[in-house]
Amino acid sequence: MPTKTIFFIILAAVISVLLSLFLYRINTSGSLKKKSVFIFLRFITIFSLLLLLINPQIKKVSYFVEKVNLSVVADNSSSIKFLNQQDNLNTIIDQIKKNERLNDKYNIIYYEFDNQLFNNDSLSFTGNQTNITRSLTSLQEINKGTTSPVILLTDGNQTYGDNYEYSLKNYNQPVFPVVLGDTVKHNDLKIQQLNVNRYSYLKNKFPVEVIVAYDGVGRVNTKFTISSGNNILYSKDLTFSSEENSKVLNIELPSASVGIKKYKAEIHPAGNEKNLVNNSRLFGVEVIDEKTDIAIISDILHPDLGAIRKSVESNEQRSVTFLKPNLPKTQINDYEILIIYQPNYKFKNTFETLKQLNKNFFIITGTKTDWRFLNNIQPYFDKGYSASTEEALPLLNTNFSGYVVEKEDFNNFPPLRDMLGETVFTAKNDVLLFKKIGNLETSQSLLSVVEEQGIRGALLEGEGLWRWRAQSFLDNKSFEPFDDFFGKLIQFLASRKKRERLVVDYESFYYGKSDVIISAGFFDKNYTFNPHASLQITLTNKNTGKVYGFPMLLKNNYYQVELNSLPAAEYEFTIAASAEKISKSGTFSILDFEVEKQFLNADVTKLQSLATNTKGEMFFTAKSRNLFNSLLNDERFKPVQKSKETIVPLIDWKWLLALIVLSLSAEWFLRKYNGLI
C-alpha cells in the first residue's frame, strides 16, 4: 500500500477521534461509561465514511504455471484413407492423449484440416482438398506471440494452395511432421497436371497442356491418348526413364459443335503400377458460338483501365477493346457494352450514339470527370457536385435485387475518390454498394444499376478500382473473388432479359470432389430480397434416374446449397419456392476426378524441408515414441511461472456501508433508550 494512503488512513482516524470527542464533550450529561460507548460508535461511523472516500487499495500477487501450447494437427483429407493410414493416425492421437508426461508438460490442443483448419471433432477422412500452407498459417495466427510447437500428422501431399516447402520457410513455430504413408518408391506413371480453358469458340481449336510424369527406375514405353466417347482425338507414344522423367504436351483440339464436351486424357500403365487412378484425367470444355465484345472508352490513362480489362477478360467469353471518344456510330455498334471511363465534353458523340443504338453502358466517374457535361448528356441521374473531392468506402446493400452477389468481402477495400456531392437518380435504380464516409454509413449510392425502357446501365462513382483488385488479391491470394464480382455485373449489363424474381447462379460443369455449389436469389413482388423464403432444389441423375432433394440455406443475401456428396454424372435440377409457383430449371455435369487419389507415397522430401526450416524434426509413424521423447526433453518448451498482480480494495465498500448502518443504528437505539432523544 502506498505511504500516502497510509498517511490518509491515520489522518482519518485522528479526525474521527477528535470529531467524536467534540460531539460528546466531557461536560455533557451522562456517565463516562456511556459517553465512551457513544464516542466509540460515532468514531466507527465517521472513520468508515472517511475510508469510503479514501478507498485504500492493496496489491495482490498470485503465481501460476503456464504450460506451452502443443498443437496436434491431423490431416482429415481422403488421401489418408486412400493410403490406408487412418489407423496409424488415430493410434498416434491415442498415444498422445494417454501420455501423462506429455500432458503434464504441455497444454495440448487438437485440430484437423483439409482445405482449411478446424477444431478437432471427429476424423472422417473425407476432405476433398489438402492445403497445408493455409492450415498452418491459420494456426500461426491463433498462437501469435507465443512459442507453440506443432505435431503435423499428414502424408505431406498438398493438392491446393501455395507450396508449403517454400511459403512456410519463415514459419515461426517449430513443426514436427509425422509421416503417414508408404515411403518406398514404386514405378508410377501419372498425369501430373492438365491445363485447359473452360470455354472454346465454335469452329476454333482450343489448347490443352498436359504434364505427364514418371516416378521409377528403368526405361518405360507408353502411349498417351485423348478421347471423347469412343473416338480417339489425339495419340502419342512416349518414352520415360529415371533421367527423363517428365514431358509437357501441348495439344490443340477442335471445337466442332456447341455444348459441354467431355474428354478423357490417359497414359497407359507401365505393367506393375500400384496406383492406376492417376493414369487418367477427365476434363470438360463448353463450346460457345459467340463472344461478348466490350469497349472501354477513355480520354485519359489510368491504372483502373488495365484492372478493368484483366477482370473482364478473366472470363474467356468476353473480349475488351480500348477506344477513344468521338468514334463513328458504325464502330460503336460492334460492341454490346460500353464502359465509359471519366467522361468529358469529348464524349458527346459517344452518348448520342449510345442513345440511338440503345446500348447498355457502365459509367465510371472520378476526379477527372466533367460532371456538368455528364449531368446534361444523359437522362438517368443528376449529381450536385462541388469543386472538392471525397473518398468513399464500399458498403454492400444486402437487399440488392439485380442478381446474386456473393464471395467478395469489402471490409478491407480502400476508398474510391470522386467529386463531392450527392447523386439523385431520375431512372429506376438499384443500389449495389452504398457509400461509407469514414465510419459513417450512408444511403448514398457508390455503385448502382439502372433500367429504363429495356436498357441496362451502371454508375460507379469513384476512381481506384485497381486498388480494390489488388486488395482482393492480398485478402484471398487470388484475383478470382473480385473478378467474379465484377464479372457478374458485366453479365447483368450484357443481358436484356426482364428482371426475374428467382435468379440462379451455377456452372455448366464441375470437377468431382471440388466445390459443387449452386446459389439463388429470391425476391418479392417489389424486387426486394426475401430472406424468409423456403427454396428447395430437386436433382435427377440422368445416368441412373435417382432423385435427390435438398433445402437451400440462407447465406447473407442469397440462398446456397453444396452438392459435394453427389457422384459424378449429368444432372437436371429444379429450384422452387414452396410458397409460390415460381421455379427455375437447368442442367450441369460433375466430372469424375479425385485429386486426393493421385498420390501413391508420402512426400517425405517436403516434410523434411518443413521440419528443417521451422527448427523442428521429422518422424515416421513407427518412431512416434522418439517424437514424444524429443518434445519432453526440448528445453525450448519449458513451462513458465508467471505472476498476476491485481489491485483490490482493502475493505469491500459493502462491508463498510453495513458497518456504518450498524453503528448509526446502535447509537440511535442507545440514545433513545437513555432518553437522549
Q: Annotate 189-222 with b (16+ C-beta within 10 A) or e (fewer).
A: bbbbebebebbbbeeeebebebebbbbbeeebeb
113 and 84 fall within a common domain: yes
Q: Are residues 576 and 606 in the same domain?
A: no
- Asked if 475 and 341 sit in the same domain, the reply is yes
The pLDDT value given to residue 27: 46
pLDDT for 1: 67
Same domain, 323 and 406: yes
Q: For the chain, how many residues are written?
A: 677
- Cβ neighbours for 6, distance < 8 A, ≥ 6 positions apart: none
Q: List the domain range (segments joined by +) for residue 224.
A: 188-288
- Quote the pTM value: 0.62
d(CA 665, CA 677): 13
**Amino acid 9: pLDDT:** 83
- Looking at the fold, whether 371 and 309 belong to one and the same domain comes out as yes
Asked which of 466, 494, 522 is the last residue of a domain, the reply is: 494
Measure Cα distances from 625 to 245, 269, 619, 632, 671 in Å: 37, 39, 9, 11, 81
Based on the domain organization, do 132 and 148 belong to the same domain?
Answer: yes
Kindly state the cell numbers that stand for 598. 493421385
Residue 366 CA, distance from chain mean position: 30
Residue 9 has which C-alpha cell?
488512513
The answer for residues whose C-beta is within 8 angstroms of residue 308's C-beta and 6 or more apart is: 296, 320, 339, 341, 364, 465, 486
Query: Over the stretch 597-642, which tens digit does the pLDDT of each residue have?
Result: 888 888 999 999 999 999 999 999 988 899 999 999 998 998 887 7
CA distance 412 to 396: 13
**Looking at residue 92, what is its pLDDT?**
94
Domain with residue 146: its CATH number is 3.40.50.410
The widest CA-to-CA distance across the chain, in whole angstroms, is: 126
d(CA 273, CA 596) in angstroms, rounded, equals: 18
Are 86 and 47 in the same domain?
no
- 481: domain CATH number is 3.40.50.880
pLDDT at 28: 54
Asked if 282 and 262 count as a contact pair (C-beta separation under 8 A), the reply is: yes
Residues 343 and 454 in one domain: yes
Q: If we measure between CA atoms, which residue out of 402, 406, 403 comes closest to residue 562? A: 406
Helical segments of 219-260, H only: none
493 to 487, 490, 497: CA distances (angstroms): 10, 5, 10
Q: Which of 225, 256, 288 marks a domain boundary? A: 288
Q: Which of 558, 575, 593 is a domain's end point?
A: 593
Report whether 72 contacts 17 (CB < 8 A). Answer: no
Q: What CATH number did the domain enclosing 250 receive?
A: 2.60.40.10
- 268 & 335 share domain: no
Each residue's pLDDT tens digit, 82-135:
889 999 999 999 999 999 999 999 999 999 999 899 998 788 898 888 999 999
Q: Which of 77, 183, 78 is nearest to 134 (CA)?
A: 77
Counting the structural domains of the chain, the total is 5
Residue pair 374/459 in contact by the 8 Å Cβ criterion: no
274 with 335, same domain? no
Mean pLDDT by 10 residues, the chain (677 residues): 80 86 64 77 86 79 84 93 92 94 93 91 86 92 89 92 87 93 82 87 88 88 93 94 91 89 91 83 86 91 95 88 85 89 93 89 95 94 89 90 75 92 91 92 93 89 95 89 90 79 87 83 80 92 94 89 88 90 91 81 91 94 91 89 76 81 85 73
Determine the pLDDT at residue 107.
93
Quick one: 487 and 561 in the same domain? no
Are 377 and 401 part of one and the same domain?
Answer: yes
For 310-410, list the strands marked E by DSSP: 318-323, 337-341, 360-365, 381-396
**Residue 316: Cβ-neighbour burial (10 angstroms; 0-12, 13-18, 19+):** middle
Do residues 249 and 226 make contact, with C-beta atoms less than 8 angstroms apart? Answer: no
